A and B are shown apart, each in its own frame.
Chain A
Amino acid sequence: MPIITVEHLSKHFKVYKRRTGFWGNLSSTFSREHDIIKAVDNVNFTLERGELVGYIGANGAGKSTTIKMLTGILVPTSGHIDVMGLMPYRHRKENTRRIGVVFGQRTQLWWDLPVIDSFELLKHIYEIPQNLYKQNLEFFSELLQLQPFLSTPVRRLSLGQRMRCDLTAALLHNPEILYLDEPTIGLDVVAKEQVRQFLRQVNAERQVTVILTTHDLNDVEKVCQRLIIIDSGKIIYNGAIDALKKRYGKTRLLIVDLAQAYSDIQLEGVDLTRRDGNRIWLAFDRDTTSASEVIAQLTARYEIQDLTISEPEIEEIVRRIYELGMH
C-alpha cells in the first residue's frame, strides 16, 4: 500500500488584478477582477514506503504548493490526498508528528539559542522519549559531524552547518516521511555532497520515505531513484531516471556558431531546438543520424565558425522537456 496517494489534486489561487493610476486604484477598491492561477492542476502520483523521489520543476511550476498540501498547511481546491491514512490538512497535528520537513530557505531552529537547545525544545514538542532522543542525537551528530558547533547559537552557523542541523531537527522524532524543499540551495559543492550522502544513508538505513524538490539536477541524479517533473501545475514525467535518460538520451546535441545569422536553416534528420543570434542548437537521434553527416550537411550549405557536440545530461533532458513538453 502506498504511503502517499495523490489523486486529481488541484490548487487554484485567485490573483487580483491591480489597475494602475488614481482612477485605476479607486475602481480596484470597489470591483476587483481576478485571474485564476492553476498552481497545481489535476496531479496524480503515489509513493511507496522507503522511496526516494525527486520532485522537480521550474520556478512557479507548483512544487512547493504540492509540498505544502502534503504537509497539511494548504488545503487543496479539489482532489484527494492520503498520507499514511490521514488527510493532512484535516489531521494537521497528527500528520506533523509523523513527518519531518526541511525548507532550504528557512530554518526551524531558534535563531538566538545554541543548536543543542533547539534540539531539546524539539524533544519536548514532539514528546520524544529520552533514550530515543539521545540515540538519535548521537547518530546524527556522528553522521553529520555536528559536535564542534552544538553549543553555538544558530545565527552564527554557516549555511552548510545550519542545513546539517536542520536535517537533524527534522529527523529527531523518527518521522516516516521527510519532505525537503530545496535542501541544497545556496550550499557549496562539498556541503551539497554531504547532504546528498546523508539523504541516501538515512533513506537506506532508516527506511525514511524522502520527497525532495530541487533546482539542482545533480541532487536528483545522485540521490533519487524516481523523478517526478511538474510544469505549469501538471505532471509531465513520472518514472525512473534511467528510463528518462534512455528515452531522451538518444538525442545528441550539436552547438554551432555560424558566420552569419541565416534566416532559414534547413537540415535533414535534425531539429533546430534553440537559436541565439549566430548560435544554433541542433538535436538529432544518434541511432539514425551520425554527427559527421550533420556536419557535412552544415558545411555544404552554411559557413561555420565553431561547433561542439554534447551528450545529453539529465539537466539538458529536463530543460528540453520544459521547453518542448513531452512527446
Chain B
Amino acid sequence: MIKKYLTFTVKAFQRTLTYRFELWMELLINVLFMLVYVYLWKALYTGRTSVEGYDLNGILTYIVVSQTLLTFTFTLRIARIIEEKVRTGEVVTDLMKPIDFQLMTLATAAGTSSHTALFNMLPKFLLFYGAFGLSLPPSLLTLSLFIMSVVLGYVILFSIEFIIGIFAFWLVEIRGLYAFVIWGLAMLFSGYFLPLEFYPTFLAKVAAVLPFRAIIYFPTAIYTGQFIGEHLVTALLIQLAWVGALVGIGRLGYRAAFRKLVIQGG
C-alpha cells in the first residue's frame, strides 16, 4: 500500500533529472536574489545591533533559511499540474486506476521536492552558511524539530496548491487564483520576506489566522531559536492542525470535483 505510492516518489525524483538545465537556472536566479536580500539587510543593520530580537547574524540566518525554504513555493507547481490534467483530460486516466488521487499527487510532489531539497536547497544553503558565517540550530533536538516543521510546512503548502488546483474543475483558468494566493497571500504572510515580528500589528493579526506563516516562518523561527519550549510546541501543533484541516478540505474538494466530472461528463 505505502510501496505503491513510494514508487511515484521515486519516479518523480528520477524524472526531475531530465530537466537539469531548468534546475540550474532556478538555482542561479535564486542565489542572486538571496545575495541581494543578504546585502540589503546588511545595509539596513548598519549602526544597529538588534531589531525585534534579531541581531545581524540572526537576521541573516533568518533570511537565508527562509529564502531556502521559499524554493519549495516556486518549484512545487502542483496547482498547475492539476490544471493541466483537467484541461487535457488526463485526469480521466488517473480516475481509471485503483489509486487515491490526493496521495498520488502528494507522493509525486514529494519526489520532485526531495530532489530540489538535495540538489538545490542544501548546496545553496551551505554556500551562504559558509560565505556569511551563519548560525546552526542551537541543538540537535532543535535541528530535528526544525526538519519536522519543514515537512509539516511543506504539506501545508502542498495542500493549499492542491486545493487551488481542484478549482480547475470549475474554473477554466486558475492562474489568477494561483497568483493571488501563492504570489500574493503566501508571499505576504509566510514570512519569507522578513520575520513576522517586523509586521505592523494588524498585519501580524491577519497572518496569525492564516495558514501561510506555518509554511516558512514557523520552521525558520525554530531554526533561529526564536521559538523555544512551549512556543515551539504550540507552533508544531498549529502546523499539525493546518495539515489536518487543509488535507481534509482538499479531499472533500476533489471528491466533489470527481463527482461533478463523473455526473456531468468531461
Contact = CB atoms under 8 A, between A and B. Distances in A.
Interface of A: 11, 13-14, 39, 65, 68, 71, 73-75, 89, 92-94, 96-97, 101, 103, 106-108, 110, 112-113, 117, 120-121, 124-127, 153
B19 to A, nearest CB: 8
A13 B11 contact: no
B3 A106 contact: no
A127 B263 contact: no
A108 B93 contact: yes
Interface in B1-50: 3-4, 7-8, 11, 14-15, 18
Given A73-B96, A125-B99, A117 B265 contact: no
A75 B265 CA distance: 8
Nearest to B1: A127
Nearest to B262: A75
Contacts of B93: 103, 106-108
Given A93-B98, A113-B14, A121 B264 contact: no
Contacts of B95: 73, 92
B90 interface: yes
Nearest to B93: A108
Nearest to B89: A106
A121 B265 contact: no
B92 interface: yes
Contact of A121 (B8, B18, B261): B8
Given A93-B98, A112-B15, A126-B98, A73 B262 contact: yes
Q: Most chain-A CB neighbours within 10 Å: which of B90, B92, B96, B97?
A: B96
A175 to B, nearest CB: 11
Interface in B211-266: 261-265
A110 B265 contact: no
A117 B98 contact: no
Given A73-B92, A125-B97, A13 B264 contact: yes
B261 to A, nearest CB: 8
B81 to A, nearest CB: 12
Interface size class of B (residues with CB under 8 A): 20 to 34
B96 A101 contact: yes
Contacts of A93: 98-99
A93 to B, nearest CB: 5
- For the complex of A and B, list the 7 residue pairs with the smallest distance between their C-beta atoms, beginning with the closest: A124-B7, A124-B4, A93-B98, A108-B93, A97-B98, A96-B98, A75-B263
Contact of B96 (A14, A71, A112): A71
A231 B155 CA distance: 49
Nearest to B15: A112
A76 to B, nearest CB: 10
A49 B11 CA distance: 36
Interface string B64-104: 00000000000000000000000001101101111100000
Of A65, A74, A94, A120, the most chain B CB neighbours within 10 A belong to A74
A203 B178 CA distance: 48
Contact of A96 (B15, B96, B262, B263): B96
Contacts of B4: 124-125, 127
A121 B96 contact: no
B152 to A, nearest CB: 27
A241 B181 CA distance: 58
A117 B11 contact: yes
A65 B15 contact: no
Contacts of B261: 73
27 contacts: A11-B265, A39-B265, A65-B265, A68-B92, A68-B265, A73-B96, A74-B265, A94-B98, A96-B98, A97-B98, A101-B96, A103-B92, A103-B93, A106-B89, A110-B11, A112-B18, A113-B14, A120-B11, A121-B7, A121-B11, A124-B3, A125-B4, A125-B97, A125-B99, A126-B97, A127-B4, A153-B18
Contacts of B98: 93-94, 96-97, 125-126
B156 to A, nearest CB: 27
B90 to A, nearest CB: 7
A106 B90 contact: yes
Contacts of A121: 7-8, 11
A93 B96 CA distance: 8
Nearest to B6: A124
Contacts of A110: 11, 15
A113 B14 CA distance: 8
A173 B228 CA distance: 52
A113 B264 contact: no
Nearest to B17: A112
Given A13-B265, A108-B93, 18 more contacts: A14-B264, A65-B265, A68-B265, A73-B92, A74-B263, A74-B265, A75-B262, A92-B95, A96-B97, A106-B90, A106-B92, A110-B11, A112-B15, A113-B15, A120-B11, A121-B11, A125-B7, A125-B99
B11 A113 contact: yes
Nearest to A123: B7
A92 B265 CA distance: 15
Question: Which of A11, A103, A108, A124 has the most CB atoms of chain B within a 10 A radius of its CB?
Answer: A124
Contacts of A113: 11, 14-15
A94 to B, nearest CB: 8
A65 B264 CA distance: 11
A71 B96 CA distance: 7
A73 B95 CA distance: 7
